[in-house]
Amino acid sequence: MLFMRDGGVSQKGAEPMAQDVSRTVEAFPIDLVVDLVNEWGTVPRAVAGESDEAYPTLAEFIAAHPALRAVGSPHAEGDLVAAADRLHPVFAAADAASTAALLNELVDDAALALRLEAGGETSELALVHAAWRQAGDASGSTRVLGSAVVALVDWLRDEPDADRLGICEGDACADVYVDASPAGRRRFCSLTCQNRVRTRAYRAQQRAAATRS
Ligand SMILES: [Zn+2]
């Protein structure tokens, strides 16, 4: 029995080797996550009637979002589409429980693990900090997904209101947004969508008034 246990210990000893080839997952800026979903996601493109239009070029997108380089570039177009399509439902989630469940799934799917590490960027030797890790050989879409998921987890840690991750209520728009406003009542991806809906509501009101008079 003792011998078996020793065998178990030596197996355990192999784990740090596996960790050595893992990579630290840096969070994307949150606006990168939003643009990723809106520019590459299948649903936002379809609802806007843009399914047949070209994606942004990778060079353009990386120029607008240099943090994408941290996950290794260039990416295949399909990597960004795959990550965007996994992320869109998080913004569409009906309630906080669904948001949490979807993000838990994505943490698993991106093979993210939270690890505590000593030291850090400062010279303070006593520091311990938490870092998200992922297999060093994770696929392109998994690396993109990982950095996006960590961004959302960080964002929710600062602002744990799931309603602030949303889908635009504009006409023919399923773009996502994060609401960082003090009031937290955002419903549109952009002023363009907001103005369009308000104009339509105003005209409907005018028509109704004209009919009545
Ligand atoms: Zn919109």
Q: What is the mean pLDDT of residues 173-181?
A: 97
Which amino acid would we find at residue 194? Q
For 105-121, write each residue's pLDDT tens digit: 999 999 999 999 887 66
pTM: 0.84
Does position 19 have pLDDT exceeding 50, yes or no? no
Q: In the predicted model, is pLDDT for residue 50 greater than 60?
A: yes
What is the distance in A from the centroid of ligand 1 to the CA of 193?
5
Please say whether the beta carbons of 36 and 83 come within 8 A: yes
d(CA 173, CA 43): 9
Domain ranges of the chain: 8-162
46 C-alpha to ligand 1 centroid (Å):
13
CA of 188 from ligand 1 middle (Å) equals: 5
Judged against a pLDDT cut of 90, whether residue 3 lies above it is answered with no
| Statement: residue 12 has pLDDT above 80 | no
Q: How much is the mean pLDDT over the chain?
A: 88
Burial 63-72 (b: 16+ CB within 10 A, else e): eebeebeebe
pLDDT score of 123: 66
Q: What's the gap in Å between 178 CA and the centre of ligand 1? A: 12
Position 75 confidence tier, pLDDT thresholds 50, 70, 90 = low
**Ligand 1: distance of its center to the CA of 56 in Å?**
18
Both tokens assigned to 195:
């103005």
pLDDT score of 72 more than 50:
yes
Give which of 40, 43, 24 is closest to 75, Cα–Cα.
40
3-7, 32-36, 72-76, 191-195: which range is least confident on average? Answer: 3-7
The pLDDT of residue 167 is above 50: yes
What mean pLDDT is predicted for residues 70-81? 80
Distance 124 CA to ligand 1 centre (A): 46
